[in-house]
Structure formats: structure tokens, C-alpha cells
Chain A
């Protein structure tokens, strides 16, 4: 018996030495935009050592207009990246073999906003009005919306400034709930001065940010992907539970990036994030891509002829819940 005990003890000591010496795996991650509370979970996971806890040494590449996550993935300049579900599907259609390993934002925060004084209360009221539109992935839902309600509007390409809308250059503005909506409130409009149209409420829910990797990365290092997702989700959880601290971390990265840092705005953004990441409790599970949402996005992209092929959900989505099935 004594020998057996000794052997077990020896093995334990050996394994602990091995674990201690096991180096952190170095990875890079690209969020699709500049540092802001939209990416609070990742920055918090990094700052609070959550990634390290999962044995990963993460470097977050500062996102922005000149950093395209898809290019970074294609060129293998990064291991992980975030992007909208619709963008990812389009990219896969164009031949970039990427997979979704976690769906973070469940609820679309894209919305139309009209001033109450414009008299636009229902979608039909938009007929013949000037509607501001962003390009690319942002215009998919608006186009589907116009089609769904048979609207003929004057589409005005809009920049990321809300001034065109504030000055009355457009009647309806396309906005993100966590960003432009709050900027409009901070230009002196009260919520009751505005009429809002969430695409989510009009049957056009497009899940937004998800975490993507190349299929080959996923196949080679499933455990790493799993660890990255787990750590990121834990980072988000920590951020929701410690909003003040999370906002502080975000502001630190914003100042580092020389971009306007406004704690009130970041706090608003984080609060909205909590809501859209949790989504609809009945349908959505934390970090899991809902198949209904996926099917809807595929259907609309096909209808608008934005994709040619249709991919199987199981090939595209490799979230944490899919490991269990194996």
C-alpha cells in the first residue's frame, strides 16, 4: 500500500510541476471597432486576468475603420475576431472558411429613429420621406424592412454623424441603440421626443457581434477556442456585475487610442450591451447562436441575393453547446 501512495504522490508532484511550467498560449483578437463598451467583456477579461486564468495570453488588436477583422482573419494576422452574423455569413459565402464559436449579441440593436414632430409613427409613415442609410451590412435590415412594408423612401447615405438628422437633413435616421440613440438624447432630445423602430420588433432580428475563427484554427485547437469563449463570456459577466470598474477599464483603452472618452456614454452602452447580450430569455442562451435567428438571416440574405449558397447550421456554428453533442 505504501508504495502505491508514494507513487500517487510522486505523480501529483510531477503533474503540478508540469502544469506550472506549461506556457500560456499566445493569441490575438480583433474587435470590429474602436475600444468602447461594445467590447467591454474582452477588455475586462484581459485586464482582470481571466484569459490568463484559462491559460491564454491574449493580445487585443485595437480595432477601427482601418482594421478589417475579416482581412485579419484571412491573412492569419489574428486568431479571433468579432463581426456581425450577417457579415460572417456573407464572408463564408465568398469563400472565407470561418466558423462562429460564440454568439455574443443576441438582439439586434439597429433601429430607425424619427423625431416625434415628423409625425412618423408607423412604418407606413416613412413613405416618401428621407431616410438615412449606412452602407454594407447595416443596410440589409433596412432594405428588408422597406420590402416588408412596401415602402418607397428617399434613401440618403449617412455618415456616422447624427448631425444630418439633428439639422433635419433626413426625417429618419439609422442608429445603433447603444450609440447614436444616446447621442441624440445627449443633443437635447428626450426619449418621448423620439419615435423608435427596432428591427428586432419588426421580425428582423439580426444577431450582431459574434466571435469567429477560421475553420482550420477551430479544427486544430478546439480546446483553445473553448477556453477563449469561456473566458470572454466570464469577462462579460464580470463587466455586467461591476459596471463602474468595467467603464473605467474601457475609458483607459479609449484614452490610449486617443478617442473621445465619455464615461456617461460608455455606461449607457454597457447597460444596453447587457440587455442585448442577454436577449430574449425565452429564446436566447448566453453565448449560444439561436438557429431560428440564423435561419432568418440566411433567408433574408438569400432573398436580397447577397449570398448564393446556403450553409448548414452545424457547419457554421461551433459554439460551446455543440461540444456536448459530440
Chain B
């Protein structure tokens, strides 16, 4: 997706993604640190609150417990019990302490009166009134009730678990119960218990009056984990913290419950058991009763502050992010806008349109420089192409002229010539120019009835000047040969003619021979040309050993040496220009004189025409399509000997 997007998009995207990362990291870090601080704060304040609540409850409970304790002390010091006195004590408990719901002195069987199984006068509240009744009977067998039996068995003061006192106080209550004894020396006889009841409503009110937060709540569990105070009244007495843990399949809650009933202090991160939310539970023991107070602070409450803060941070971040987005897009646009324009214009250029409008940008940055460079480039290209068009037109004109020149040059060369059967020799020549107009030349003509002149040369340079020089040289040789039958003389004269006013310093290498058809004698002169190959019957082909002579056209007044050889019937002479031996292949190797020698040796017995054609093919095969660097010219003369037939 990225590769196809524009520069502006990529730039904006990368910058924004990086910023988003940084932003998320900062918010996350901020959140974690703030949370830790808040939780530490919370722990301290929650524990403080719990201590305050616990102390308040403890104070009330120990105040309630102090009455039966005092009465027990008093009872143990008495030897005889007067009912009037007992009732007075009990009623004073209720009148003096509004937290006490009811109170009794419950005697063990027959302990108060030999005639009475039960004796338990009970004062209790009913609204604002204080009422009185005797407890005990077949439907209220108090000897087996927790508040009687447990202190009896344990011999110490106890706080009971919550219970509904049916046929007694008729409310949900908990009772503090103190046993009292008749002491005779070291012997102790259990006489009964003195109790004070508290309504669980009182506990509930104490806990709920300490409002901690909107969704927070407090609760008290008994020594056995039974709820004594809880926001949901159905839980009280019916549920234990362990039953809730089993219901919720919350192992942590069971663990915390055990710690609570062991009288431990704690602060634990856990699930609420009222609502479906996480929070913190702080718990402190109510030591005198063996109960435990828990305060649950929900995460929502705790996190309200931090959530608020985080929300603000996120809002600021998002606003910043939006601003950043706008700024980055603007910057990216300002950079890429001109570039995009340039891109469009480049499209124009590629279509060949240079006449578009492009205003230089008044900026010195890279984009400004790029634009002005682009304009300069456009202008240069425009100029160049204009010039190129003119040049091309000129070149085209020249090429057509060159074509004409070539045709003319080819016209100058003798047409494919096959000496008539009357002649005692055969001859074939070919010229393959490297450029349209070549610098090689060859010519042959009869001087008189006996003598046949043949010439092969190579003009220095190529193209039109070489062709012109070639034409001049050919014309000179042809005309001079009419008056002189000496090739050396002809060469010398041609040289003198050409060397005159040769400002261009052009020259021609030439081999010129005159064959006496009767005798087979060839007189020849060489002006700096490659030695021809001699194909002598019965001998190996070899290069003709020549006297050295400079190329014609360089210096005036040069003497050329006249040499001669005898061609016997069946002998042949093969001449060539350096276009043959200096043909290159793609490995930069020359065709070389050696290879030429071998090739001619191979085809020595072919007809003149075939010999040249096949040799040329070998050269072409060798160069394998490497463009020809020089004109290739070959001429072969095969002497058959005999008489000139008429």
C-alpha cells in the first residue's frame, strides 16, 4: 500500500504514527504512575477509615459488653439472689445504654429456684418502650442456645453469631454473653449467663453511617464468616463469606475470608461480591468480638479521579494530534506541491511538449533549486532539440548527397569485368565500402593490344574527400597509363600531380601492375600498398616481396622502383586493401595477413569470382557482425597464358 502512495502521505503517515506511539507511551506511563500513587493513597486512607470505623464499633460493643461483665462480677459476689434486685439491674442496663436491645440473666436448670427449670427474666425494647418477659419453656429451651451453651462450655465471655431470636427478642440480633459462677474456695459452680443483645440493625447503621463513597460499602462478618452487616439485608445471617466465595467460584475471596476470621489486617485487590466490578478490600479485626470489618472500595470510585485525568490527557493529546495532522499535511503539501507540478510537467516533456508554462518558485530550498534547475533543463533541452532538428535536416541532406556520391563512385569503378574469352587471363574485383562513399579504388584497362593495366589503392581517410581523391587518382592513372607503360613512372607522375597543393595532406597507397598478355610478364610498382599474394602453380601461396615506396600524394619528386615478375599459365595474383586484414571480430582480434594467406591457399583453385566471394564470406564470418571499419577491396587476376585470340 505504501509504495503506491505519494510522498505527502508517506511523510504524514510516518510522522503521525511515531507521534501516536510516543503519545500512547506517555499516557500509559502517566496512567500507571498516577494509579500507583492513588492506590498507595487509597490504601492509607481506606485503612485509616477502617480503623476509625472499627474503633467506633469496638467502643460501642465493649460498652455493651461491659454491662453483663459488671453484673456477672456483682452476681459472683452475692450469695443470695433477690428477684427484685436482679430485675432492677437488668432494667438499668437498657435505660442506661440505648445500644443494648435486650438483656437477661439466664440461670442454669434449677440454679435460681429449686422448683424452676428455667429462670431468665428478660428486658427488651419494643419501639420506644422497654418490655419484660421470662424466657424459657419447651419452645424456648435456652440451655441449648448458642448464647447460653457456648459461654457455659468455654467459661468465657462470647459474642454470638447473628441469629433471629424467635420467641425471644424477635429480631435479628447478636448477643454478648458472660457466664457467672458460684465460687466456694477453688470450686466453681456454673450458675448461668448474663447477656446483652444488640440489634444487627445497629451494626448496619453504624457501618452505613460511615459513608465511604458512592459505590463503596462496608460489611462485618462474624468469627465464622457469617455476614452481620451487609448492604443486602438478605445476606445477613443467611450467607457466609465462604458461601459467597463458593457461589462466585472466587478462591481469593475464600482466602481473604480466612484471613479475616483469623483476625488479620489486610488490603487486597479483588472482585466485589455485590456488583460485577473490581476493587479493593481493606479489612481490620474487631478484636473484642472476634468479628472483622471489611470496606470495599470499587475501582470505579478509585479510578474516577485517574480516569478523569487520563481523559483530559487523552483529549489534549487528540487535539494536539489533530493540530499536528493539519500542520504536517500543510508542510508536506508545500513541499510536494511544486514537486507534483514538476512531475506533471515531466510528463509533458516525455510526450515531447516543451512549451508549457512553469513559473520559477521564489524559494532557495531544495524544491526551489530543483524547480529552477528543471526550468533550465527544459530550456536547454528545447534549444538542443531545435539544433538537433537542424542538424538532422542537414545530415539527411548530406546523406542523400553521399548516396549520390556513392553511386557516382561506384560508377567510376569499372563494371564487373570478365575479360573476354579471347584474353589469356581472368579477373574479378569487388569493393565493399565501410561508409557510403569509400576511399578504396581499383581499376583495370587495356593500354594497348598486349598490355593490360590493373591498379588497386587505398586513399587515406574516408568519405567524400577520399572518394574525390580516389576519382582524381583513378583518372590520373588512367590518363598517364596511355603515355607511359612504366608503372613506376606512372606512380611518380601521379604522385607529383597529387602532392601539388595537397593541403589536406591526403595520400593514396597504390599498387599498379601492367601485364604483358603474351609473355605473362608483369611490371609493377608499389606506392606504400600491402603486398599482393602470389598464387604460383606448384608452390605455396605467398606474399610478394616488394620494394618499399611511399604512398602517393605526400611528397613531390619521388622515384618509385619498377619491378617485374613472370606469370606462368595457372598463376594468379591477389590484391587487397587493409580493410581485409584489419577486419576485427568482437574479441578485438584482427583478421590478419596470416589468416588471409590461409584462406587464399584454401580457395586458390576457385574461379576468380568465387575466390573473392568466398574469401569475403570468410572475412564476414570472422568479424561476426562487428561493423566494418574500413573499405574492403579485393582484386584477383588469374593468368591462363596463351595467345590473344582475335
Residues of chain A having any CB pair with chain B under 8 Å = 130, 156-159, 161-164, 166-170, 185-188, 260-265
Contact B243 A265 (CB under 8 A): yes
Stretch among B150-158, B326-334, B399-407, B532-540 lining the A interface: B150-158
Q: Does B621 interact with chain A (Cβ within 8 Å)?
A: no
Asked, given contacts A156-B153, A188-B257, whether A164 binds B146 with beta carbons under 8 Å apart, the answer is yes
User: A188-B258, A188-B261, A262-B239 given as contacts; is B247 within 8 A of A163 (CB)?
Assistant: no
Choose one: A130, A157, A185, A263; the contact of B247 (CB below 8 Å): A263
- The answer to whether residues A163 and B153 also contact, given A186-B240, A187-B240, A188-B258 and a CB cut-off of 8 A, is no
B271 to chain A, nearest CB (A): 16
With contacts A164-B150, A164-B153, A169-B149 known, is A187 near B144, CB below 8 A?
A: no
Q: Which of B143, B150, B223 gathers the greatest number of chain A CB atoms within 10 Å?
A: B150
B242/A185 in contact, CB under 8 A: yes
State in angstroms the CA–CA spacing of A157 and B141 once bound together. 12
For residue A169, which residues in chain B have a CB less than 8 angstroms away from its CB? 149-150, 152-154
18 of the cross-chain contacts (CB-CB < 8 Å) are A156-B153, A157-B144, A159-B145, A162-B224, A163-B146, A164-B150, A167-B146, A167-B158, A169-B152, A169-B153, A169-B154, A170-B153, A186-B243, A187-B225, A187-B226, A188-B254, A188-B258, A264-B247
Main secondary structure of the interface of A (DSSP, over half): loop
Q: How large is the interface on B (under 10, 10 to 19, 20 to 34, 35 or more residues)?
A: 20 to 34
Contact between A130 and B153, CB atoms less than 8 A apart: yes
* B149 engages A159 (CB within 8 Å): yes
Q: Which residue of B lies closest to A263 (CB)?
A: B247
Contacts of B246 on A, CB cut-off 8 Å?
186, 264
- B residues contacting A by CB (< 8 A) are 143-146, 149-150, 152-154, 158, 160-161, 163, 223-226, 237-243, 246-247, 254, 257-258, 261
Taking CB atoms, residues of chain A closer than 8 Å to B241 are: 188
Name the B residues within 8 Å of A170 (CB-CB): 153
A186 touches B242 (CB 8 A): yes
Known: A167-B158, A170-B153. A187 touches B242 (CB 8 A): yes
Residues of A contacting B224 with CB < 8 Å?
A: 162-163, 166, 187-188
- Contact present for A164 and B242 (CB under 8 Å): no
Closest CB in chain B relative to A258 CB, distance in Å? 11
The residue of chain B having its C-beta at the shortest distance from the C-beta of A259 within the complex is B238
Neighbouring B residues of A260 by C-beta, 8 Å: 237-238
Residues of B within 8 A of A262 (CB): 238-239, 243
Q: Which 10 pairs from chain A and chain B are nearest by CB?
A: A169-B153, A187-B224, A260-B238, A159-B144, A186-B242, A186-B243, A163-B146, A264-B247, A186-B240, A169-B150
Give the nearest-CB partner of B258 in chain A.
Answer: A188
- Distance in angstroms from B181 CB to nearest chain A CB is 17
Interchain CA distance A158-B152 in the complex, whole Å: 12
Question: CA–CA, A170 to B152, complex, Å?
Answer: 11
Residue of B whose beta carbon sits closest to that of A193: B258
- Complex-state Cα separation, A265 to B160, whole angstroms: 22
For A164, A170, A186, A262, the residue with the greatest tally of chain B CB atoms inside 10 Å of its CB is A186
User: Are A159 and B243 in touch, CB under 8 angstroms?
Assistant: no
User: B160 and A163: CB pair below 8 A?
Assistant: yes
**B163 smallest CB distance to A (angstroms):** 8
Question: Measured between alpha carbons, how far is A169 from B225 in the docked complex, in Å?
Answer: 17
Task: State whether A186 touches B225 (Cβ < 8 A).
Answer: yes
Compute how far the CA of A184 lies from the CA of B417 in the bound complex, rounded to whole angstroms. Answer: 136
Which residues from chain B contact A187 at a C-beta distance below 8 Å? 224-226, 240, 242, 261
CB neighbours of B145 from chain A (8 A)? 159
When chains A and B are docked, how far (Å) is the Cα of A162 from the Cα of B150? 11
By the criterion CB–CB under 8 Å, are A161 and B146 in contact?
Answer: yes
A166 to chain B, nearest CB (A): 5
Chain A hits for B226, CB < 8 A = 187
| Shortest beta-carbon distance from B366 to chain A in Å | 76
- Chain B residues near A158 (CB, 8 Å)? 144, 149
A130 to B145, CA, bound (A): 17
Q: How far is the CB of A269 from chain B (nearest CB, A)?
A: 13
A contact residues around B143 at 8 Å (CB): 157
Taking CB atoms, residues of chain B closer than 8 Å to A263 are 247
Most buried by A among B163, B224, B240, B241: B224
Rounded to whole Å, the gap between the CB of A68 and the closest CB of chain B is 14
Given contacts A161-B163, A187-B224, 8 further A-B contacts (CB under 8 A): A162-B224, A163-B160, A164-B146, A166-B224, A167-B146, A169-B150, A169-B154, A188-B261
